[in-house]
Amino acid sequence: MQHFDSDLISRSETTLRRLWPRLEERFGSRVDAWEWETFQKRVETHFASLFAPLFALYGEQYDFFFHLETILQTIAEAWIGRDSELRALDALREEDPTWFQSHRMVGATCYLDLFAGNFDGLREKLPYLKELGITYLHLMPIFRSPEGDNDGGYAVSDYRDVDPALGVQDDLRKVATQLRQHGIAIALDFVLNHTSDEHIWAKRALEGDANYQAYYWMFPDRSLPDAYERNLHDIFPDDHDGSFTYRPRIKRWVWTTFHTYQWDLNYSNPAVLRQMTEEMLFLANVGVEVIRMDAVAFLWKELGTDCQNLPNAHNVLRAMSAAARIAAPAIALKSEAIVHPDEVSKYIHPDECQLSYNPQLMALLWDALATRKTNALRSAMEQRFAIPGGCAWVNYIRCHDDVGWAFSDNDIEAAGFDPRSHRRFLTNFYTGQHEGSFSRGLVFQVNPATGDARVSGMTASLAGLEHALEIGDEEEVELAVRRITLLHGVIVTIGGMPLIYLGDEIAMTNDYRFTEDHQKYTDSRWVHRPPFNWEQSRRRYDSDTPEGRVYEGLLRLIQLRTQSPAFDRAETEFVDVGNEHIFAFFRSRDEHSALVIGNFSEHPQSIEAKRLRNLGLRKTVVDMFRGEVITAGQRLDMEPYQLMVLVTGAQHGMQQDRLTTSPHAQDHQTNE
Ligand code: GLC
């Protein structure tokens, strides 16, 4: 719970006293008395968390209390509409609000059509997900969106109607229930920054309805757009210059941060926040358990700023989070903020988004593979891995989007590089243009003005497998397999929930067919969004193939994570092992502890015996990953790109006192 000043608390209490009887009159008779009481308790507990951000956003508006009341009614309506199974889940999760930190959580993500065809197909693929140990499934956008180009579904035309090609609304509800019965929580996107220009609100706005025009940012001439653009950055420069699109029919410039057909919603209008809260709670009530809050950095606009990460963007999220706590406490919100790491962390809070993508880790893992050095990775993690207790990272190697260099310039400078040229080096490296590069990515969104660019590519292709197979070099294939396993090893063990993009577990490589599709060829991200190759997946049991080796490694990692108590809601402590090519961290909980170490170079590396002793390791340690006992007399030797998960803990010589000296032991937790 946040701490509010006493003035705000008393204001919120007075307000609730005024609003409550009216709410009770309207909704109280629709449920049993004891249920209403539960609801009342929840409202009382969380009302200040709802009131504070709404007051910050709209307190100055003359009709603030009217809007506050309608938002509260929306919340009550959603709570009433929640079915008994979900209410039971609410009760469970109120007892265990950090359920997502469990080591049993293992995430996967896919496009439903590309992975399984449709909802019916997904049911058939359940055994595949269960075999891998998946307990969280993020389905990419499934709602109705414009025919043709629709930004991979991120241009939503209806927040409730499922794309007819996938099924109907009821299928979603059924699948969510069925997955839950199998221990898999479903996650869906909530694309809350914008709608498609085919959404009913946009259509009404195009017909000239002033109410709906006020849902968006619209300007009759260029004066304000020009003024805003002085400080804005182009997000999809390949698509259009600037952030506004002219719609001749209404003679208005519409704010379109992303594509021209994605209209930014105007959250300075409280009616928009109310409506979107209703849409979010709809997702909760069909059984979605984690809601991915899309593009949160852009939610608020203010002249004279770059309109990213503004304090009021946080207030919008906090209000929605409080609404969720009251109406559907079973759900967790996950923020998608691919911005500077210091800004990413601001979205992570028990009262805001409890989960967050970790783009910094993603970018720095690729950095370490390209440079073969782990200094930047280690120092960034030491400084910024810790997040508030009650929250968790979602760690990934790549997602459906590009790989961008979302790290802090300071970390790169401290590692001895010039940030600008280093970013260019990384883009060149991962697009195979740098001499000696093993990688086969494609560029994404080159900005000619700044020289910035990002990279698209499947994990296997970025990590060298495509190139190795092309040249038919067995040794290179082995190195690529190890790189992929090393990256998976880190995300599975580091603390938080790993998120695997389905297809990566069987080492699928780039799919260039998008270049022949006139709707997709301009967006290189489709190179890493291929249809799932079920034929190829059959080779997952054959350890003579890269598919088999990558799969086997990942499976072992997942088993190790879910079976060892050292990974359950455990602390993470990064350590310097005296070798810049090696990344290392302890995971520890109570008397259980594991040391994860990874060699990021293609050469053998070692850790000196003295260092090992300092780390509390004895001469003989067990590597849980390979299932080997290792004797490190003079030093611990590591093969190229080797990953080790060493059991320490009491029985293996872990010095107990070091556990209590963990820098994160007190107020911050870096737990799962
Ligand atoms: C998010 C999505 C991305 C999309 C953008 C606009 O960043 O991950 O795919 O293009 O939002 O919705």
447-467 per-position pLDDT tens digit:
887 778 999 999 999 999 999
Ligand 1: distance of its center to the CA of 190 in Å? 11
Task: State the pairing for strand pair 107-110/136-139.
Answer: parallel
Distances, alpha carbon 286 to alpha carbons 81, 119, 324, 338, 645, in Å: 10, 14, 14, 28, 40
Please report which confidence band the pLDDT of residue 609 belongs to, taking 50, 70 and 90 as the band edges. Answer: confident
Q: How far apart are CA 530 and CA 535, in angstroms?
A: 13
Ligand 1: distance of its center to the CA of 612 in Å? 44
Q: How far apart are CA 4 and CA 318, in angstroms?
A: 13
The yes-or-no answer on residue 198 being catalytic is no
Q: Average pLDDT of 380-399? A: 97
529 has pLDDT over 50: yes
Return mean pLDDT, the chain. Answer: 94
94 has pLDDT over 60: yes
Please report which confidence band the pLDDT of residue 407 belongs to, taking 50, 70 and 90 as the band edges. Answer: very high
Residue closest to 252 by CA, chosen among 225, 281, 288: 225
Testing ligand 1's pocket by substitution, the residue of 401, 522, 523 carrying the most ligand atoms inside 8 A of its CB is 401
Query: What confidence score (pLDDT) does residue 649 get?
Result: 52
Ligand 1: distance of its center to the CA of 599 in Å? 33
Q: Is the minimum distance from the CB of 359 to ligand 1 under 6 angstroms?
A: no
Please report which confidence band the pLDDT of residue 650 belongs to, taking 50, 70 and 90 as the band edges. Answer: very low
Query: What confidence score (pLDDT) does residue 671 get?
Result: 40
What tokens appear for 449 in the block? 């003005």
Q: Average pLDDT of 160-180? A: 96
657 has pLDDT over 70: no
Ligand 1: distance of its center to the CA of 39 in Å? 35
Query: What confidence score (pLDDT) does residue 2 get?
Result: 65
Please report which confidence band the pLDDT of residue 345 belongs to, taking 50, 70 and 90 as the band edges. Answer: very high
* Residue position matching structure tokens 């010039």: 418
Ligand 1: distance of its center to the CA of 211 in Å? 27
Cβ proximity of 235 and 257 under 8 Å: yes
Q: Is the minimum distance from the CB of 429 to ligand 1 under 6 angstroms?
A: no
- Classify the phi-psi angles of 188: left when phi > 0, otherwise alpha if psi is within -120 to 50, otherwise beta: beta
Annotated catalytic residue within 113, 336, 351, 476:
336
Residue nearest to atom 12 of ligand 1 (CA): 154
- pLDDT, one tens digit per residue, over 38-82 is 999 999 999 999 999 999 999 999 999 999 999 999 999 999 999
Please report which confidence band the pLDDT of residue 660 belongs to, taking 50, 70 and 90 as the band edges. Answer: very low
Query: What confidence score (pLDDT) does residue 658 get?
Result: 37
Q: Is the minimum distance from the CB of 155 to ligand 1 under 6 angstroms?
A: no
Instruction: Tell me if residue 646 falls in helix, strand or coil.
Output: strand
- In the sheet where 582-589 sits, what is the strand order? 571-575, 582-589, 592-599, 643-647, 620-623, 628-631
663 has pLDDT over 50: no
List domains and CATH numbers for the chain.
358-563 (3.20.20.80), 570-670 (2.60.40.1180)
Comparing 170-179, 441-450, 526-535, 662-671, the range with the smallest average pLDDT is 662-671
Residue closest to 71 by CA, chosen among 331, 315, 345, 314: 315
Q: How far apart are CA 103 and CA 610, in angstroms?
A: 32
Residue nearest to atom 10 of ligand 1 (CA): 151
What tokens appear for 489 in the block? 């090893």
Q: Average pLDDT of 119-147? A: 97
What tokens appear for 561 in the block? 């994570």
Residue 123: CB atoms within 10 A of its CB come to 16
Q: Average pLDDT of 316-345? A: 97
The yes-or-no answer on residue 511 being catalytic is no
Testing ligand 1's pocket by substitution, the residue of 139, 154, 189 carrying the most ligand atoms inside 8 A of its CB is 154
Q: Which residues, at least 6 apart from 651, have a Cβ–Cβ distance to it below 8 Å?
A: none
Please report which confidence band the pLDDT of residue 655 belongs to, taking 50, 70 and 90 as the band edges. Answer: very low
Distances, alpha carbon 515 to alpha carbons 453, 520, 576, in Å: 19, 7, 45
Q: Is the minimum distance from the CB of 152 to ligand 1 under 6 angstroms?
A: yes
Testing ligand 1's pocket by substitution, the residue of 111, 140, 151, 263 carrying the most ligand atoms inside 8 A of its CB is 151
Q: Is the minimum distance from the CB of 523 to ligand 1 under 6 angstroms?
A: no
Query: What confidence score (pLDDT) does residue 237 get?
Result: 81
Annotated catalytic residue within 90, 163, 294, 476:
294
Q: Is the minimum distance from the CB of 191 to ligand 1 under 6 angstroms?
A: yes
Share of the chain above pLDDT 90, in %: 90
Q: Is the minimum distance from the CB of 151 to ligand 1 under 6 angstroms?
A: yes
608 has pLDDT over 90: yes
Query: What confidence score (pLDDT) does residue 203 get?
Result: 98
3-state DSSP helix/strand/coil percent for the chain, to nearest 5? 45, 15, 40
Q: How far apart are CA 166 and CA 171, in angstroms?
A: 9
* DSSP track, 146-194: -SS--GGGTS-S-SSSBPTTT--HHHHHHHHHHHHHTT-EEEEEE--SE
Ligand 1: distance of its center to the CA of 327 in Å? 27
Distances, alpha carbon 580 to alpha carbons 153, 457, 623, in Å: 42, 27, 21
User: Interhelix angle for 270-285 vs 64-80, to 10°?
Assistant: 10
Distances, alpha carbon 629 to alpha carbons 515, 582, 622, 636, in Å: 49, 20, 4, 12
Ligand 1: distance of its center to the CA of 454 in Å? 14
